Structure 1
Amino acid sequence: MRLLFHVQHFLGVGHHRRAEALTRALVAAGHTVTVASGGAPVPGEDWGGARVVHLPPARVEAADFRTLRHLDGTPVDDTWREDRKQKLLALFGDVAPDILLLEGFPFARRQLQFELLPLLEAAKAQPRPPLVATSLRDIIVFNKPPKRHEEVLDLVNRFIDLVLIHGDPALVPLERSFATADRIPAAKKAYTGFVAPVPPSTPNRIASVVVSVGGGAVGKALLWTALHSRPFTRFADQPWLLVGGAMMSEAAIAALRDAAPEGMSVERFRPDFRAVLAGADLSISMAGYNTALDILQTGVRSVLIPFAEGGETEQALRAQLFAEAGRAVTVDQAGLTPDLLGASVNRAADLPPVTLDLALDGARRTVEILTAREAAR
């Protein structure tokens, strides 16, 4: 089975990591996967041996998700858009996929309509069109007017054969973030469970408190607030670890290291991060998809500070669900201070242990669902 997977990370790397995990599972099952990657290369990425074709890269800024930019921050123009569209269409023709897998569209990635709509038209025009699927995380950002809902539903009806939802409806059904999801035919929807990595076999206790910010494209302010919050917590005399992330600048990491007091370490990346988290007493982090799965798998008590810039609502809802389930204490990003964070850490330390029975084998299930759907055509 030949599969073309269109992947685009704009700011953080959560989408990218999930796409890597899905691709590795597909390759391991014997399928031929080509990844069309539209973002900057991510340090440590692992596609499992799939062919990766890099499109001209683009990104956005935290406060402006609408404007596509070159990696140097300058806005892209129509010439760039046309060039990238033609490169993607040529790749589609070269691969001739049995399955075309998109990341989020049309629920997200509206900035990429200039290339994705022509791609979908090209797919539909084939003598034997590929199965077209879209890959969604558990929660999407869609605080849009009714007109936009209708636009998305129309595109799903016209072009999408399968909506893969990488979550568990027992925690959050798609309707919580996309109110008209019930109008998508049941035959077009499939919950895969969360796309989680294999849990760590042995905890690595090197820190009592672990502070992390995902890929590090945002979150520098949280790390600084956490650094200064230590004296306000019951863990003031315990070792802390701050993890900056693969996308954080060297200068930002160096500044944190220079300011860190004795007993507090600062690292860019830990290959054994989840084992370190499993050995910790408490986690301080944002509430991205992969971070939330790390917390679920390791069982660590947590304080969640959801990212909320640029109209983002995804992390706030996820943090709310974790708090309602007794798995975290949440604090708003706005107005966060060291003493407020310290008080939240102390409250989280008293949370009773809670285990959520959720499906965490989303990569395997995605492969099974796609394989069965393609075979049934």
Structure 2
Amino acid sequence: MTSSTPRVLFYVQYLLGIGHVRRSALVIQALANAGVQTDVIFGGVPVPHISFAPATLHFLDPVKSADNGFSGLVKADGSEFSAADKLNRSQQLLELCHQLQPDVIVTETYPFGRRQMRFELTPLLEWAANQPVPPLMVSSIRDILQARSPKREDECIQLIQQQYDQVLVHGDPAFTPLEKSFAKASQIQRQLTYSGYVCPEKPLAKPRENLIVVSIGGGAVGKEILQAAQQLHASGFEAGCQWLLITGPNMAPEDKELLAKHNCDNLQVVELADDFIDSLSRARVSVSMAGYNTVMDLLQTETPAVVVPFEAESETEQLARSQLLEAKGLLTIVREHALTADTLKAAILQARQQQHQRPAINMQGAQHSAELLKRWAEQHRQTCKKEAPL
């Protein structure tokens, strides 16, 4: 790298599910591979199977959500995350920013979410605004946002208008524009740019095998899906298929152990698949939640799919995305409150009868995000040079 190479800093913090981490990692890898000096400040519990390489990774003391309802923050071991801990983490973050002196700072999700991290993100924004040459501020968000109160939406709009330069939406407005889930998006239209959907490369087409893949992302939530699948397997349904149940790294150890007791010739319980998207591309059907990354994998592989959207504590994002695709005949939904072995069986049978051709949407989001961030960083550098006093 030369001194003329722009530097982009990503702030990545997950609290429950790891989908945000995977999406960010794909963008970060594309950016670093494009020759941009890329740093990641990571504040969650490390996710071993997700890599940010060749970007440089910097760790803050990890925190996570205390529960599925996002009632508060705790340390990685579940112990209290105190006011003193918050102050220490905030200072860690500011020291890293001062050391790195980025041209661009990207905050994943914030200020459209991650309000629990305001104890360190408010000082970060203040630090950025007070620099002799303020970095360009970018918010990186998914296609569909969680429904918020009008007051919360107004707070977000105010922050974007006052302290951010760009909002990078990882979606395609032809499929679902941001205003469908964020009604006041028109007030920040000037700052919105769509990248397309962020997903890995489409795998080579493979013959479908007698394989049923059941997955729940990181595993912090969704164990009921695996339990229903295990019960359906035990009933003798699809006895000629191989069943692959993937718990994810964050599932409680005792729940993993209970499921693992059911391992047999045609049912395998694993924490991680060696190559998840390859397994998906060979499967006759997938059963999963409906997070951004999982749905993109389903569309890329054109795999018949049953989804059980996460709806705890009035979560709306997964259900909204699922309903868009169900209306196009691309997957089958089972609601959390209706999930049983019988409803799962009916949904699997229905999913096999549906079309599974990938819709005509932009799925080059990782590469396009990298191109946009690189261009914005270079333009920002040039603008700052022109405005600098002689």
Shift of 1:132: 0.5
2:106 partner SS:
strand
Whole-Å separation in 2 of the counterparts to 1:255 and 1:207 = 25
Given the superposition, is the C-alpha separation of residues 366 and 374 from structure 1 closer, same or farther in structure 2, using an over 3 Å criterion?
Answer: same
**RMSD of the alignment, in Å?**
1.7
Where in structure 1 are there 5+ consecutive unaligned residues? none
Q: 1:7-156 residue pairs with structure 2 within 5 A?
A: 7-144=12-149, 146-156=150-160
What CA distance in whole angstroms lies between the structure 1 residues aligned with 2:260 and 2:78?
A: 27
User: Counterparts in 2 of 1:1-377, with a 5 A limit?
Assistant: 1-144=6-149, 146-186=150-190, 188-203=191-206, 207-230=210-233, 235-377=238-380
Q: In 2 relative to 1, CA 185–205 (structure 1 residues): closer, same or farther, beyond 3 Å? A: closer
Deviates more, 1:107-116 or 1:251-260: 251-260
Contact persistence 2:33–2:54 (CA under 8 A): no
Is this contact kept in 2: 1:207–1:241, CA < 8 A?
A: no
Is contact 1:232–1:343 with CA below 8 Å preserved after alignment? no
Change (3 A) 1:63 1:269: closer
- The answer (yes or no) to whether the contact 1:202–1:275 under 8 Å persists in 2 is no
Q: CA deviation at 1:76?
A: 1.4
* Counterpart AA for 1:35: V
**Displacement, 1:2?**
0.8
Does the 8 A contact of 2:137 with 2:163 survive in 1? yes
Deviates more, 1:123-132 or 1:232-241: 232-241
1:128 match: secondary structure: coil
In structure 2, relative to structure 1, the CA distance for the partners of 1:157 and 1:233 (3 Å cut) is farther
8 Å CA contact retained: 1:326, 1:354: no
Q: What SS class does the counterpart of residue 184 from structure 1 fall into?
A: helix
Q: Identity of paired residues, percent?
A: 38
State the distance in 1 between where 2:224 and 2:103 align: 45
Conserved 8 A contact 1:233-1:342: no
Count of residues in correspondence between the two structures: 375
Give the AA of the match of 2:162: R
Shift of residue 21, structure 1, vs aligned partner: 1.0
- The one-letter code of the counterpart of 1:157 is Q
Cα distance in structure 1, aligned partners of 2:279 and 2:151: 46
Contact 2:281 2:301 in 1 (8 A): yes
Specify the SS of the correspondent of 2:139.
strand
SS in 2 for 1:334: helix
